[in-house]
Structure 1
Amino acid sequence: MQMRKRERSLVGVLCCFLLLEIERSVGLELEFTRSDFPSDFVFGSATSAYQVEGAAHEDFRSDSIWDNYTHSRMVPGKSTGDVAADGYHKYKEDVKLMADMGLEAYRFSISWSRLIFVETGEINPKGVEYYNNLINELLNQGIQVHVMLYQLDLPQSLEDKYHGWLSPKIIDDFTAYADVCFREFGDRVKYWSTMAQPNILSIAGYDQGSWPPSHCSNPFGVIHCTIGNSAVEPYIVMHNLLLAHASVYNLYHTKYYELQKGKVGINVYTLGLRPFSDSAADEKAVRRFRDFFIGWILDPLAFGEYPSIMKKIVGSRLPSFTKGQSKMLKGSFDFIGLNHYITLYVMDDSNNTNSVPRDYTADIMVRTSGSKNETPHIQLTTVLRNVVPDPDGLQYILNYLKEDYNNPPIYVQENGRGLAWNSSLEDTERIKYVSNFIRGTLHAIRNGVDVRGYFLWSFIDLYEFLGGYETTYGLFRVDFDSEEKTRRPKLSAHWLLIQDCMITGDQAFKLCFFNGEKTTKKRWYLFDGFSPPICKIVP
């Protein structure tokens, strides 16, 4: 027993040594370890169905709007998610990689098109089988399961039938789909998010046309749209998204909670926001942008109404809630999930008040830039492509939620750094980014913010909605040109593993691996695959 403790302690020391070496190599100082976070805080990673699964035409899966979009439009590299990272067939291998590197949680989305025969409403047994297998594999490896019910991949048949999220008919269909998920998987899944970034979906899909179903109207839009009304459709879509969320939340808590004891939240895309100048007008513009971008979702869920500034500016184009809907919405979340990547500088553009025609962007009356050295631009998606990372922006958002929304439980459900697919496996830029944002999360926790988890986007390289396969975020590189879609760990995967090794010698003893393989032998191997290799053997 004494020898075993000494071996474990030695592994912990080696983990510390290797962590210091990696952090020195990328210019970081060791400022935190896993043990600095609450014991019930979870570190995880995330993917989404269309982006990772592939198998687009297998086992009776039907098309989603992303299938239709990628096959009919010019996307980066003319790429599609038909095969993606082939997660549908390689889930066991992927879960093993998660377990080997010590991930505590995994957030994935369910494909509505794979689970349900939408035309009839019947369940696809193959879809149920796949998600059961994935969930069970995760739990068998001790990994906490977080599920996103909807991550942008609406069944194409519902878009064709009644224009998808533009119709209130979708509320009942989405609730019925969620009912199937809760019934089939809720005995094991305890963390549910209803939908991903409805603010981005409403803007990109129905104002600017850059995401499916590609609605916009002239002179708005980043593409030439043939259908849409940018003045009203973003607001209608968000209205239906919020009501669908509240309906699903109410379903779970009336039908399933007593037995399953799970939690249901919603995911919001957030931006750090800074005034472009010290002027009072720019300060006011930041608050207005924040209300339009985040309050648009959270005010109805917290208070039952849209922000007052939105009512004032948008007027009759903004739908209103009935008293019954307001009551259903208010308090309809157990946690808030955040997707957060960047900070924008905001300049007031309120001289644009009376311009016509109007759209969502014109209503906010701001211009934005990625830094104070750039000229602010009116088109948001133009700015998002080249922005300097700012971890203080995440702290800003976390503290804002604490102060304005009564400190709700929060999970950072996406945060990560995109790099070119063919960049080095030694992704030091990603390590710097992630380290800084995790540190920012820790500072927020110490400031009293109720943050309960951090999920890195993404676990493996996959199909990116804005970048195809040209930009990747994964901890593991996927060789998309190979039939096997081979996975190879990047330096960031090892860095996260070593950080986890820092908890205790016991956990370090358990987690160390060589070439992705755990070993139960008395010899313990650490981290191979780089030049020069960082590999140690414990006698």
Structure 2
Amino acid sequence: MGITVDDLWNLYVGPVEVAKVNTTVQATPVPSADLIPPPPHYYGSLYKGHESSYESELYKTNVNWSFPRTFWWGVASAAYQVEGAAKDEGRGPTIWDVLTHRVTGFTVANQTGDIADNQYYLYKQDIARIAAIGTPAYSFSIAWSRIFPYGRGPVNEQALAHYEDLIDTCIEYGVEPIVTLYHWDLPLYLQNTYGGWLSEEIVDDFVEYARVVFRRFGSKVSKWATLNEPSVFCNTYPLPAGYFKATGIPAKQQPFYCGQSVLLAHARTYRLGKQLMPNSTIFFKNNGGYKIPLTNSTADSLATQRAWDFGEGLWANPTFLGGDYPASVKNYTSTFLRPLTAAERGMLDGSSDIFAHDAYTSQFTSAPDVGIAACLANTSHPLFPTCANTTYQYPASLGGWDIGPAADPGSPWLHKATDWVPRFLHYVQDTWKPVGGIAVTEFGFGEPFEQLKTVLGDIRSDYGRTMYYHDYMEAILQAMSEGVDVVGTLAWSIVDNLEWAQGYTVKFGMQYVNLTTQERSFKASYFEYVRAFQVYQRK
């Protein structure tokens, strides 16, 4: 490559923190006291028409509600957020190593993923813990720059052996491994060589990475996500100037160049995966949430449709509805992106076995104050090209109340909008008609001000998050009873972790992690999530 992996670290990242524990730790039995659920709290009434009871169970079993035996569920994580071991065993640097080390203020307090939860060495205990509480699946991502330190070129056998043991440990404990190939941690070398996802050159590199992983683990893993939340990582572009390869692509166009590369990489990876593993379930993870017109005006209705088109639709329409972009997206991208070929559209169409969605919240949508037409005519408008405004408050005519309780202030995008989950699931099914059903592949809640708590008992009693999971699972059960084909759920997250730009200040974990000792403790929300299946899943 003309440059060593150490050179990449030294030139572009600099020194990294090293954990005290840097060899794989064997699991020890989980103390029985750790598995005692919290005492029942008061829960609000169930949906209208359902009788509620708070005598001895957290849930009142309803004869119309059940999860079939085939319904799969578990908890999730992502490599950069939990693994640590930044340079260990040949891992190459990623764009996130640069962002957290070099771009001052990119993360809160310049916190990094150098050590994180040190799961690279503590994975056996983490898997033992989730198995002990009764979790049947663990969804994690593989770090591309561990397998290919440059993103291409030589393969790192040590990394393959690590992930093979992680997968084998899951199987040993009766936990199904669900693997994501890409969760935002782009190998730095690819970004600096050709602009990363801004270039279609990345498609071949990603497919080759997938080929190596599929061939190594395909006999042990049956559920695969190709890419996680492309609308989020594509909107990371343009990356901060001066730290990466410069590009002449205008800033507002960059997310769409990224998007086209992502779609092509996903489609080719899907086709390869079905060829190598014909019985596998392969999908990508969309994200967003239910979009509610703020008023009954025509303008707000049009803005809401544009929000769907530029949100979920940008990815879902090509994969579920014929291989091409929604009309409103295509009207914009056709001015600078090359059109997809007939062969590419055919490759995209039907390239996801399920509709996987990271569905945390919902929001109200409205037209810009200047109107949609004026916004579309002004490329410098902050809402261009979507030209849809969003809010988490009902209109003033309805009191201006929140759509639901707010999460931690570090996550202003998240409110507990679980009342809208059934409508959202209906919308997905009715609009994109996924043959394999819908899976909610991430959902969770940043407990407000949890980072300020110092007493372990207070931290574990995460009432807001517990209510979130209680009401969310009810909402899924309601939607299923109404005919929506929901096939699985994955809760975010297995542990408190690096929440990207918010560092460790926002907590989504269903387990508390003491980042000094790396000790884990179950929170009340984890028991609540498990309880939904203890009560409602058919035996």
TM-score, with length taken from structure 2: 0.80
Equivalent residues of 2:497, 2:507 under 8 A apart: yes
Distance 1:283 1:25, change over 3 A: closer
Post-superposition Cα deviations, 1:83-115, rounded to whole Å, max 9, x if no partner, equal 000101110110011111101111100000111
Residues 1:131 and 2:163 are matched in the alignment: yes
Within 1, Cα distance between the matches of 2:375 and 2:536? 55
Equivalent residues of 1:44, 1:107 under 8 A apart: yes
Post-superposition Cα deviations, 1:499-536, rounded to whole Å, max 9, x if no partner, equal 4444699x9xxxxxxxxxxxxxxxxxxxxxxxxxxxxx
Within 2, Cα distance between the matches of 1:236 and 1:226? 12
2:269 aligned residue:
248
Q: Greater CA deviation, 22-31 or 181-190?
A: 22-31
Selected match of 2:364 from 326, 345, 356:
345
2:418 aligned residue:
391
Alignment of 1:16-415 (within 5 A): 21-24=39-42, 30-31=59-60, 36-73=66-103, 74=105, 75-118=107-150, 121-203=153-235, 205-206=236-237, 213-214=239-240, 229-254=250-275, 256-258=276-278, 261-302=279-320, 303-349=322-368, 350-358=372-380, 361-372=383-394, 385=412, 387-408=414-435, 409-415=437-443
**Equivalent position amino acid for 2:348 in 1:** L
Selected match of 1:416 from 444, 451, 456:
444
Equivalent residues of 1:46, 1:457 under 8 A apart: yes
Within 1, Cα distance between the matches of 2:382 and 2:256? 8
Within 1, Cα distance between the matches of 2:113 and 2:41? 35
User: Which secondary structure state, in structure 2, belongs to the residue aligned with residue 24 of structure 1?
Assistant: coil
Within 2, Cα distance between the matches of 1:497 and 1:299? 34
Within 1, Cα distance between the matches of 2:45 and 2:119? 34
Equivalent residues of 1:479, 1:486 under 8 A apart: yes
Within 2, Cα distance between the matches of 1:33 and 1:331? 36
Q: Greater CA deviation, 171-180 or 362-371?
A: 362-371
Unaligned runs of 5+ in 1: 1-17, 217-224, 377-381, 508-539
**Equivalent position amino acid for 1:471 in 2:** V
Equivalent residues of 1:33, 1:502 under 8 A apart: no
Equivalent residues of 1:340, 1:414 under 8 A apart: yes
Equivalent residues of 1:49, 1:111 under 8 A apart: yes
Within 2, Cα distance between the matches of 1:477 and 1:319? 47
Within 2, Cα distance between the matches of 1:393 and 1:318? 35
Structure 1 stretches of 4+ moved >6 Å: 25-28
Distance 1:500 1:450, change over 3 A: closer
Equivalent residues of 1:418, 1:471 under 8 A apart: yes
Within 1, Cα distance between the matches of 2:241 and 2:474? 39
**Equivalent position amino acid for 2:219 in 1:** D
**Equivalent position amino acid for 2:378 in 1:** V
Equivalent residues of 1:52, 1:463 under 8 A apart: yes
Within 1, Cα distance between the matches of 2:382 and 2:485? 31
User: Which secondary structure state, in structure 2, belongs to the residue aligned with residue 266 of structure 1?
Assistant: strand
**Equivalent position amino acid for 1:469 in 2:** Y
**Equivalent position amino acid for 2:390 in 1:** T
User: Which secondary structure state, in structure 2, belongs to the residue aligned with residue 107 of structure 1?
Assistant: strand
2:465 aligned residue:
430
**Equivalent position amino acid for 1:307 in 2:** P
Count of residue pairs the alignment pairs up: 465
Structure 1 vs Structure 2 CA RMSD: 2.8
**Greater RCO structure (CA 8 Å; 6+ sep):** 1
User: Which secondary structure state, in structure 1, belongs to the residue aligned with residue 40 of structure 2?
Assistant: helix
Within 2, Cα distance between the matches of 1:494 and 1:253? 36
Distance 1:393 1:190, change over 3 A: same
Equivalent residues of 1:413, 1:456 under 8 A apart: yes
**Equivalent position amino acid for 1:336 in 2:** F
Within 1, Cα distance between the matches of 2:225 and 2:76? 13
**Equivalent position amino acid for 2:70 in 1:** D
Equivalent residues of 1:45, 1:105 under 8 A apart: yes
**Equivalent position amino acid for 1:345 in 2:** F
Equivalent residues of 2:300, 2:367 under 8 A apart: yes
Q: Greater CA deviation, 396-405 or 51-60?
A: 396-405
Identical residues among aligned pairs (%) = 29
User: Which secondary structure state, in structure 2, belongs to the residue aligned with residue 362 of structure 1?
Assistant: coil
Within 2, Cα distance between the matches of 1:83 and 1:60? 16
User: 1:120 Cα shift?
Assistant: 5.8
Distance 1:44 1:422, change over 3 A: farther
User: 1:237 Cα shift?
Assistant: 0.7
Unaligned runs of 5+ in 2: 1-35, 47-51, 53-58, 402-408, 454-458
Within 1, Cα distance between the matches of 2:410 and 2:511? 28
